[in-house]
Amino acid sequence: MGLTIVWTDFAKNELRNIFQFYLYKVSFKIADKISEGIINHVKILSDQPKLGPIELSLEGRYREYRSLIYKNYKIIYWINTAKNRIDIIDVFDARQNPEQISRGV
């Protein structure tokens, strides 16, 4: 049995924003496909929590943050060993200014 995956409110909100963007700009089908793709991609972390590399732009923080890439999105997470879970902190559009990556951390 793998680790539980928990989405923070911030990460859930970012996922909603991604969905809304594609819903407005493209279509429901595309918005749903991208959102579901992100959610399903994250599930692999349950059994392979160290799959994503350490996020170098967030080094030196209290926690060791890692990232997983899905299309243009960087999914920021940390392994919460005390609670036997993966905490998804942010879903970051990698086309943005990289300095904004610390916004949800």
**What range defines the domain where residue 47 resides?**
4-95
Can you give the pTM of this predicted structure? 0.86
CATH number of the domain encompassing residue 50: 3.30.2310.20
State the pLDDT at residue 57: 82
pLDDT in tens, 55-65: 888 887 889 99
Does the residue 15 lie in any domain? yes
What's the first-to-final CA gap in the chain, in angstroms? 28
Residue 30 Cα distances to 33, 45, 68, 73, 85, angstroms: 5, 24, 21, 15, 30
Percent of the chain residues topping a pLDDT of 70? 90
Is 4 in contact with 86 (CB distance < 8 Å)?
yes
Those residues with Cβ within 8 angstroms of residue 46's Cβ, 6 or more apart along the chain or in another chain: 2, 3, 4, 5, 86
Mean predicted confidence (pLDDT) in 44-63: 90
Does the residue 102 lie in any domain? no
Question: How many domains is the chain built from?
Answer: 1
State the pLDDT at residue 27: 96
